[in-house]
């Protein structure tokens, strides 16, 4: 949960106030002294290859609708990031994958609804039929010299590093 989403104490209902706590100004309850610590949003992305081409999906939603990225999405509470990348790849591309090597961890949200931490795995395609799903308008494999317009700085970073 982000700071702008929390205005009242979940314990007693009092309106939160900005108070210096634990080295920063934090939303704090003046009645019961509960302190809000925002949890970072964590996402995963999968880098898959087939025949020298990389798997990308075209975004169906804002931000960056119509631009392309690695299959990716948020990690659910209690979900292992490896299972999350396998789930997201299946949902967005129709391809069952197995998470392999951890390639990178990228910090810093690129937009207001984005992840604070992106965990990137190499993924191996196991089975399935390529088709877009979930929040992907299209899915396809692309040669490194023929990449479509990319959505995120993190996607460009990963592709530049591993292509």
Full-prediction pTM beyond 0.75? yes
Task: Compute the mean pLDDT over every residue in the chain, rounded to the nearest whole number.
Answer: 95
Tokens 């939603």: give the residue: 61
Q: What is the pLDDT of residues 81-116, one digit of tens each?
A: 999 999 999 999 999 999 999 999 999 988 888 899
76 pLDDT above the threshold of 90: yes
- Examine the domain organization and report whether 133 and 88 are in the same domain: yes
Contact indicator for 132, 89 with CB cutoff of 8 Å? no
Domain CATH for 116:
3.90.79.10
Residue 79, pLDDT above cutoff 90:
yes
Tally of domains within the chain: 2
C-alpha 43/C-alpha 118 separation (Å) is: 5
What mean pLDDT is predicted for residues 128-140? Answer: 96
Looking at the fold, whether 95 and 142 belong to one and the same domain comes out as: yes
pLDDT of residue 3: 65
Q: Are residues 23 and 57 in the same domain?
A: no
CB contact burial 63-84 (16+ within 10 A = b; e otherwise):
ebeeebbbbbbebeeeeebbeb
Express each pLDDT in 4-25 by its tens digit.
Answer: 789 999 999 999 999 999 999 9
pLDDT at 74 over 80: yes
Structural domain of 23: 1-39
Answer yes or no: do 87 and 67 share one domain: yes
Are 34 and 46 in a shared domain?
A: no
Tell me, yes or no, whether 9 and 80 share the same domain.
no
Measured from the Cβ of residue 162, the count of other Cβ atoms closer than 10 Å reads: 14
CATH number at residue 2: 2.20.70
């Amino acid at each position: 949960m982000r700071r702008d989403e929390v205005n009242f104490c979940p314990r007693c209902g009092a309106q939160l106030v900005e108070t210096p706590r634990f080295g920063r100004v934090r939303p704090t309850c003046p009645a019961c002294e509960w302190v809000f610590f925002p949890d970072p949003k964590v996402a995963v992305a999968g880098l898959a290859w087939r025949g020298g081409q990389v798997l990308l999906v075209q975004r169906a939603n804002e931000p960056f609708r119509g631009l392309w990225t690695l299959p990716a999405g948020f990690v659910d509470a209690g979900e292992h990031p490896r299972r999350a990348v396998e789930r997201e790849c299946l949902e967005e591309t129709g391809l069952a994958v197995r998470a392999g090597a951890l390639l990178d961890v990228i910090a810093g949200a690129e937009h207001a609804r984005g992840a604070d931490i992106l965990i990137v795995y190499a993924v191996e395609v196991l089975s399935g039929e390529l088709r877009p799903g979930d929040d992907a308008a299209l899915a396809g494999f692309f040669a490194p010299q023929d990449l479509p317009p990319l959505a995120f700085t993190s996607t460009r970073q990963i592709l530049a590093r591993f292509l």
